[in-house]
Structure 1
Amino acid sequence: MRPKIPFLSAFLLLLVSYSSQNPNPKTSNSSPSPSPAHTELTNYGFPVGLLPAATVLGYAVNQTSGDFSVQLGGACKITLPPDNYVATYSKKITGKIVQGKIAELNGIRVRALFKWWSITGIRSSGDDIVFEVGMVTAKYPSKNFNESPACEGQHSAS
Protein backbone atom coordinates (compact mmCIF):
# COMPACT_ATOMS: atom_id res chain seq x y z
CA MET A 1 0.00 0.00 0.00
CA ARG A 2 1.33 3.42 -0.89
CA PRO A 3 1.83 6.03 1.85
CA LYS A 4 -0.59 8.93 2.10
CA ILE A 5 0.51 12.48 2.75
CA PRO A 6 -2.07 14.49 4.74
CA PHE A 7 -1.68 17.74 2.79
CA LEU A 8 -2.18 15.95 -0.53
CA SER A 9 -5.25 14.20 0.79
CA ALA A 10 -6.56 17.53 2.05
CA PHE A 11 -5.90 19.13 -1.32
CA LEU A 12 -7.64 16.41 -3.26
CA LEU A 13 -10.56 16.50 -0.82
CA LEU A 14 -10.89 20.21 -1.53
CA LEU A 15 -10.76 19.48 -5.27
CA VAL A 16 -13.58 16.97 -4.85
CA SER A 17 -15.65 19.41 -2.79
CA TYR A 18 -15.02 22.23 -5.25
CA SER A 19 -15.87 20.23 -8.33
CA SER A 20 -19.11 18.93 -6.84
CA GLN A 21 -20.35 22.03 -5.02
CA ASN A 22 -18.97 25.07 -6.87
CA PRO A 23 -21.75 27.66 -7.21
CA ASN A 24 -19.65 29.62 -9.72
CA PRO A 25 -21.78 30.37 -12.80
CA LYS A 26 -18.70 29.92 -15.01
CA THR A 27 -18.78 26.14 -14.63
CA SER A 28 -19.47 23.89 -17.56
CA ASN A 29 -23.20 23.94 -16.75
CA SER A 30 -23.39 26.88 -19.14
CA SER A 31 -22.08 24.65 -21.93
CA PRO A 32 -24.78 22.49 -23.51
CA SER A 33 -22.50 19.57 -24.33
CA PRO A 34 -18.98 18.39 -23.45
CA SER A 35 -16.17 18.60 -25.97
CA PRO A 36 -15.14 15.45 -27.85
CA ALA A 37 -12.09 15.22 -25.55
CA HIS A 38 -14.36 15.25 -22.49
CA THR A 39 -16.51 12.57 -24.09
CA GLU A 40 -13.42 10.50 -24.88
CA LEU A 41 -12.63 10.42 -21.15
CA THR A 42 -15.95 8.67 -20.54
CA ASN A 43 -15.09 6.07 -23.20
CA TYR A 44 -12.14 5.06 -21.00
CA GLY A 45 -14.18 4.97 -17.79
CA PHE A 46 -13.43 8.44 -16.41
CA PRO A 47 -15.73 11.35 -15.55
CA VAL A 48 -15.58 14.51 -17.71
CA GLY A 49 -14.59 16.64 -14.70
CA LEU A 50 -10.97 15.53 -14.89
CA LEU A 51 -10.55 18.11 -17.67
CA PRO A 52 -11.30 21.78 -17.01
CA ALA A 53 -14.18 23.48 -18.77
CA ALA A 54 -11.65 25.29 -20.95
CA THR A 55 -11.72 25.47 -24.69
CA VAL A 56 -10.32 22.23 -26.06
CA LEU A 57 -8.60 23.05 -29.34
CA GLY A 58 -7.87 19.43 -30.13
CA TYR A 59 -6.99 16.03 -28.84
CA ALA A 60 -5.48 12.84 -30.16
CA VAL A 61 -5.48 9.27 -28.85
CA ASN A 62 -3.41 6.48 -30.36
CA GLN A 63 -5.76 3.50 -29.98
CA THR A 64 -2.83 1.04 -30.10
CA SER A 65 -0.32 2.60 -27.68
CA GLY A 66 -2.74 4.68 -25.58
CA ASP A 67 -0.61 7.80 -26.04
CA PHE A 68 -2.79 10.89 -25.89
CA SER A 69 -2.54 14.65 -25.96
CA VAL A 70 -5.11 17.34 -25.24
CA GLN A 71 -4.56 20.92 -26.44
CA LEU A 72 -6.40 23.50 -24.34
CA GLY A 73 -7.06 27.08 -25.40
CA GLY A 74 -4.54 28.12 -22.74
CA ALA A 75 -3.12 27.17 -19.40
CA CYS A 76 -5.54 27.63 -16.53
CA LYS A 77 -5.76 27.44 -12.78
CA ILE A 78 -8.40 26.51 -10.27
CA THR A 79 -8.16 27.96 -6.77
CA LEU A 80 -9.71 25.71 -4.18
CA PRO A 81 -11.29 27.30 -1.11
CA PRO A 82 -10.99 27.65 1.81
CA ASP A 83 -7.24 27.04 1.97
CA ASN A 84 -6.50 28.47 -1.49
CA TYR A 85 -4.81 25.40 -2.93
CA VAL A 86 -4.17 25.86 -6.64
CA ALA A 87 -4.44 23.25 -9.37
CA THR A 88 -3.00 24.14 -12.76
CA TYR A 89 -3.54 22.69 -16.20
CA SER A 90 -0.93 23.31 -18.88
CA LYS A 91 -1.97 24.26 -22.37
CA LYS A 92 -0.95 20.73 -23.42
CA ILE A 93 -1.74 17.62 -21.37
CA THR A 94 -0.18 14.29 -22.34
CA GLY A 95 0.00 10.73 -21.09
CA LYS A 96 -1.03 7.15 -21.76
CA ILE A 97 -4.63 6.05 -21.36
CA VAL A 98 -6.21 2.61 -21.25
CA GLN A 99 -9.53 1.56 -19.81
CA GLY A 100 -9.60 2.84 -16.21
CA LYS A 101 -6.01 4.11 -16.06
CA ILE A 102 -4.06 7.20 -17.08
CA ALA A 103 -0.28 6.90 -16.68
CA GLU A 104 2.77 9.03 -17.49
CA LEU A 105 0.53 12.08 -17.05
CA ASN A 106 2.07 15.47 -17.77
CA GLY A 107 0.39 18.85 -17.55
CA ILE A 108 -1.64 18.80 -14.31
CA ARG A 109 -0.10 20.06 -11.08
CA VAL A 110 -1.16 21.03 -7.58
CA ARG A 111 0.46 23.47 -5.20
CA ALA A 112 0.72 22.43 -1.57
CA LEU A 113 3.23 23.29 1.15
CA PHE A 114 4.86 25.92 -1.08
CA LYS A 115 5.75 23.35 -3.74
CA TRP A 116 4.29 22.27 -7.07
CA TRP A 117 3.43 18.55 -7.28
CA SER A 118 2.72 16.84 -10.59
CA ILE A 119 -0.20 14.44 -10.79
CA THR A 120 1.49 11.49 -12.51
CA GLY A 121 -1.45 9.14 -12.88
CA ILE A 122 -5.17 8.67 -12.36
CA ARG A 123 -7.05 5.39 -11.98
CA SER A 124 -10.73 4.64 -12.04
CA SER A 125 -11.46 2.08 -9.35
CA GLY A 126 -15.15 1.19 -9.15
CA ASP A 127 -16.97 4.29 -7.97
CA ASP A 128 -13.70 6.02 -7.03
CA ILE A 129 -10.93 7.96 -8.72
CA VAL A 130 -7.39 7.41 -7.43
CA PHE A 131 -4.88 10.23 -8.00
CA GLU A 132 -1.18 9.43 -8.04
CA VAL A 133 1.53 11.94 -7.18
CA GLY A 134 4.67 9.85 -7.43
CA MET A 135 4.34 7.17 -4.75
CA VAL A 136 1.50 8.97 -2.97
CA THR A 137 -2.15 8.21 -3.74
CA ALA A 138 -5.49 9.66 -2.71
CA LYS A 139 -8.93 8.17 -3.49
CA TYR A 140 -12.18 10.11 -3.93
CA PRO A 141 -15.68 9.36 -5.27
CA SER A 142 -15.74 9.75 -9.05
CA LYS A 143 -19.23 11.30 -8.91
CA ASN A 144 -17.54 14.45 -7.59
CA PHE A 145 -15.98 14.90 -11.05
CA ASN A 146 -19.15 14.66 -13.12
CA GLU A 147 -18.83 18.36 -14.08
CA SER A 148 -15.77 20.14 -15.39
CA PRO A 149 -14.37 22.92 -13.17
CA ALA A 150 -14.05 26.38 -14.70
CA CYS A 151 -10.64 27.93 -15.27
CA GLU A 152 -10.01 31.09 -13.31
CA GLY A 153 -7.25 32.43 -15.51
CA GLN A 154 -3.80 32.02 -16.95
CA HIS A 155 -0.75 30.98 -14.99
CA SER A 156 2.93 30.81 -15.71
CA ALA A 157 3.92 27.75 -13.67
CA SER A 158 3.42 25.13 -16.39
Structure 2
Amino acid sequence: MAIPQSLILLALLLFFTLSTANPNPNPKLSSAHEELQHKGFPIGLLPLNVLGYTLNRTSGAFAVNLDGSCKLTLPPDNYLATYSERVTGKLVEGKIAELDGIRVRALFQWWSITGIRSSGDNLVFEVGVLSAKYPARNFNESQECENRPRRSSS
Protein backbone atom coordinates (compact mmCIF):
# COMPACT_ATOMS: atom_id res chain seq x y z
CA MET A 1 0.00 0.00 0.00
CA ALA A 2 2.94 2.37 0.62
CA ILE A 3 4.07 2.18 -3.02
CA PRO A 4 0.74 3.39 -4.50
CA GLN A 5 0.57 6.22 -1.94
CA SER A 6 4.11 7.24 -2.87
CA LEU A 7 3.19 7.29 -6.54
CA ILE A 8 0.11 9.37 -5.82
CA LEU A 9 2.21 11.86 -3.88
CA LEU A 10 4.71 11.97 -6.75
CA ALA A 11 1.86 12.65 -9.16
CA LEU A 12 0.70 15.51 -6.93
CA LEU A 13 4.20 16.96 -6.87
CA LEU A 14 4.33 16.89 -10.64
CA PHE A 15 0.82 18.33 -10.89
CA PHE A 16 1.75 21.33 -8.82
CA THR A 17 4.95 22.21 -10.66
CA LEU A 18 2.86 23.98 -13.28
CA SER A 19 4.95 27.10 -13.19
CA THR A 20 7.94 25.36 -14.81
CA ALA A 21 6.13 24.38 -18.01
CA ASN A 22 5.49 27.03 -20.68
CA PRO A 23 4.62 30.06 -18.57
CA ASN A 24 3.29 33.02 -20.53
CA PRO A 25 5.90 35.81 -20.50
CA ASN A 26 3.15 38.49 -20.34
CA PRO A 27 0.39 37.02 -18.21
CA LYS A 28 -2.74 39.07 -17.60
CA LEU A 29 -3.75 38.05 -14.12
CA SER A 30 -7.37 37.95 -13.09
CA SER A 31 -8.78 39.24 -9.84
CA ALA A 32 -9.14 35.55 -8.86
CA HIS A 33 -5.34 35.25 -9.01
CA GLU A 34 -5.04 38.39 -6.89
CA GLU A 35 -7.52 36.95 -4.37
CA LEU A 36 -5.32 33.84 -4.06
CA GLN A 37 -2.35 36.07 -3.23
CA HIS A 38 -4.43 38.03 -0.71
CA LYS A 39 -5.25 34.76 1.11
CA GLY A 40 -1.62 33.59 1.19
CA PHE A 41 -1.42 31.41 -1.94
CA PRO A 42 0.70 31.68 -5.10
CA ILE A 43 -1.05 32.57 -8.38
CA GLY A 44 0.13 29.39 -10.13
CA LEU A 45 -2.63 27.36 -8.49
CA LEU A 46 -4.92 28.67 -11.26
CA PRO A 47 -4.29 28.54 -15.02
CA LEU A 48 -4.35 31.77 -17.05
CA ASN A 49 -7.77 31.16 -18.68
CA VAL A 50 -9.84 32.56 -15.77
CA LEU A 51 -12.92 34.48 -16.92
CA GLY A 52 -14.16 35.53 -13.50
CA TYR A 53 -14.96 34.41 -9.99
CA THR A 54 -17.35 34.87 -7.11
CA LEU A 55 -16.41 34.85 -3.43
CA ASN A 56 -18.66 34.99 -0.40
CA ARG A 57 -16.44 36.90 2.03
CA THR A 58 -18.41 35.62 5.04
CA SER A 59 -18.34 31.88 4.33
CA GLY A 60 -15.35 31.77 1.97
CA ALA A 61 -17.37 29.86 -0.65
CA PHE A 62 -15.98 30.58 -4.11
CA ALA A 63 -16.45 29.64 -7.75
CA VAL A 64 -13.84 30.30 -10.44
CA ASN A 65 -15.06 30.24 -14.03
CA LEU A 66 -12.61 29.33 -16.79
CA ASP A 67 -13.13 29.89 -20.50
CA GLY A 68 -13.47 26.12 -20.87
CA SER A 69 -12.00 23.03 -19.30
CA CYS A 70 -8.23 23.12 -19.11
CA LYS A 71 -5.77 20.32 -19.80
CA LEU A 72 -2.14 20.47 -18.74
CA THR A 73 0.59 17.91 -19.37
CA LEU A 74 3.11 17.96 -16.58
CA PRO A 75 6.75 17.14 -17.25
CA PRO A 76 8.89 15.17 -16.92
CA ASP A 77 6.61 12.12 -16.76
CA ASN A 78 3.73 13.61 -18.78
CA TYR A 79 1.06 13.35 -16.10
CA LEU A 80 -2.24 14.77 -17.30
CA ALA A 81 -4.06 17.30 -15.11
CA THR A 82 -7.45 18.85 -15.79
CA TYR A 83 -9.36 21.84 -14.49
CA SER A 84 -13.12 21.83 -14.96
CA GLU A 85 -14.75 24.87 -16.53
CA ARG A 86 -15.90 25.73 -12.99
CA VAL A 87 -13.74 25.20 -9.89
CA THR A 88 -15.41 25.57 -6.49
CA GLY A 89 -14.50 25.38 -2.82
CA LYS A 90 -14.03 27.44 0.34
CA LEU A 91 -11.18 29.94 0.56
CA VAL A 92 -10.01 31.42 3.84
CA GLU A 93 -6.63 32.72 4.94
CA GLY A 94 -4.13 29.91 4.28
CA LYS A 95 -6.67 27.22 3.40
CA ILE A 96 -8.71 26.03 0.42
CA ALA A 97 -11.25 23.38 1.46
CA GLU A 98 -14.04 21.42 -0.23
CA LEU A 99 -12.17 21.88 -3.51
CA ASP A 100 -13.91 20.51 -6.60
CA GLY A 101 -12.82 20.76 -10.22
CA ILE A 102 -9.09 19.92 -10.25
CA ARG A 103 -7.95 16.37 -11.05
CA VAL A 104 -4.70 14.60 -11.90
CA ARG A 105 -4.25 11.24 -13.63
CA ALA A 106 -1.89 8.82 -11.87
CA LEU A 107 -1.77 5.05 -11.51
CA PHE A 108 -4.27 4.66 -14.36
CA GLN A 109 -7.02 6.60 -12.61
CA TRP A 110 -8.11 10.17 -11.90
CA TRP A 111 -7.55 11.67 -8.44
CA SER A 112 -9.39 14.78 -7.21
CA ILE A 113 -7.47 17.45 -5.31
CA THR A 114 -9.80 18.11 -2.35
CA GLY A 115 -7.90 20.78 -0.42
CA ILE A 116 -4.77 22.93 -0.23
CA ARG A 117 -3.23 24.50 2.89
CA SER A 118 -0.48 27.09 3.16
CA SER A 119 2.16 26.13 5.71
CA GLY A 120 5.03 28.63 5.87
CA ASP A 121 6.97 28.38 2.62
CA ASN A 122 5.12 25.19 1.67
CA LEU A 123 1.74 24.10 0.38
CA VAL A 124 0.03 20.95 1.64
CA PHE A 125 -2.15 19.27 -0.99
CA GLU A 126 -4.94 16.90 0.01
CA VAL A 127 -6.29 14.00 -2.03
CA GLY A 128 -8.91 12.39 0.18
CA VAL A 129 -7.09 11.18 3.30
CA LEU A 130 -3.61 11.55 1.74
CA SER A 131 -1.60 14.76 1.85
CA ALA A 132 1.76 15.94 0.55
CA LYS A 133 3.86 19.07 1.16
CA TYR A 134 5.64 20.99 -1.64
CA PRO A 135 7.46 24.35 -1.86
CA ALA A 136 5.04 27.19 -2.63
CA ARG A 137 7.64 28.79 -4.92
CA ASN A 138 6.91 26.05 -7.49
CA PHE A 139 3.61 27.82 -8.18
CA ASN A 140 4.67 31.44 -8.54
CA GLU A 141 3.51 31.64 -12.19
CA SER A 142 0.29 30.58 -13.90
CA GLN A 143 0.39 28.33 -16.94
CA GLU A 144 -1.51 28.47 -20.24
CA CYS A 145 -3.84 25.56 -20.96
CA GLU A 146 -2.82 23.21 -23.76
CA ASN A 147 -4.45 23.45 -27.18
CA ARG A 148 -5.46 27.07 -26.63
CA PRO A 149 -4.19 30.16 -28.42
CA ARG A 150 -1.99 32.40 -26.32
CA ARG A 151 -3.76 35.36 -24.71
CA SER A 152 -2.65 38.72 -26.05
CA SER A 153 -0.95 41.17 -23.75
CA SER A 154 -3.02 44.16 -24.91
Which TM-score applies when normalising by structure 1?
0.86
User: Aligned to 1:29, what secondary structure does the other structure show?
Assistant: coil
User: Aligned to 1:87, what secondary structure does the other structure show?
Assistant: strand
User: Aligned to 2:81, what secondary structure does the other structure show?
Assistant: strand
Q: Residues of 1 paired with 2:83 and 2:18: CA distance? A: 16
2:147 is aligned, of 141, 150, 153, to: 153
What corresponds to 2:13 in structure 1? 13
Task: Verify the 8 A CA contact 1:59 1:69 in the aligned structure 2.
Answer: yes
**Paired residues, number:** 145
- Confirm or deny that 1:131 pairs with 2:125: yes
Q: Residues of 2 paired with 1:48 and 1:81: CA distance? A: 19
* Distance of aligned partners of 1:17 and 1:94 in 2 relative to their CA distance in 1, 3 Å threshold: closer
Which of structure 1's runs of 4+ aligned residues deviate more than 4 A? none
* RMSD value, Cα: 1.6
User: Aligned to 1:94, what secondary structure does the other structure show?
Assistant: strand
- Confirm or deny that 1:93 pairs with 2:84: no
* Distance of aligned partners of 1:61 and 1:147 in 2 relative to their CA distance in 1, 3 Å threshold: same
Per-residue Cα deviation, 1:19-63 (whole angstroms, up to 9, x for no partner): 2x32x2xx23222x4111100101110000000111x22101000
Task: Verify the 8 A CA contact 1:77 1:87 in the aligned structure 2.
Answer: yes
User: Aligned to 2:146, what secondary structure does the other structure show?
Assistant: coil
> Which runs of 5 or more structure 2 residues have no equivalent in the other structure?
149-154
AA aligned opposite 2:125: F
Task: Verify the 8 A CA contact 1:29 1:147 in the aligned structure 2.
Answer: no
TM alignment of 1:58-137, pairs within 5 A: 58-137=52-131
TM alignment of 1:33-72, pairs within 5 A: 33-54=28-49, 56-72=50-66
Task: Verify the 8 A CA contact 2:17 2:139 in the aligned structure 1.
Answer: no
Q: Residues of 2 paired with 1:110 and 1:16: CA distance? A: 10
AA aligned opposite 1:46: F
Q: CA deviation at 1:85?
A: 0.7
* Identity over aligned pairs, percent: 61
Which TM-score applies when normalising by structure 2?
0.88
* Distance of aligned partners of 1:17 and 1:42 in 2 relative to their CA distance in 1, 3 Å threshold: closer
Q: Residues of 1 paired with 2:67 and 2:40: CA distance? A: 24
Task: Verify the 8 A CA contact 1:8 1:138 in the aligned structure 2.
Answer: no
Q: Residues of 2 paired with 1:40 and 1:111: CA distance? A: 28
Q: Residues of 2 paired with 1:18 and 1:67: CA distance? A: 25
Q: Residues of 1 paired with 2:17 and 2:103: CA distance? A: 18
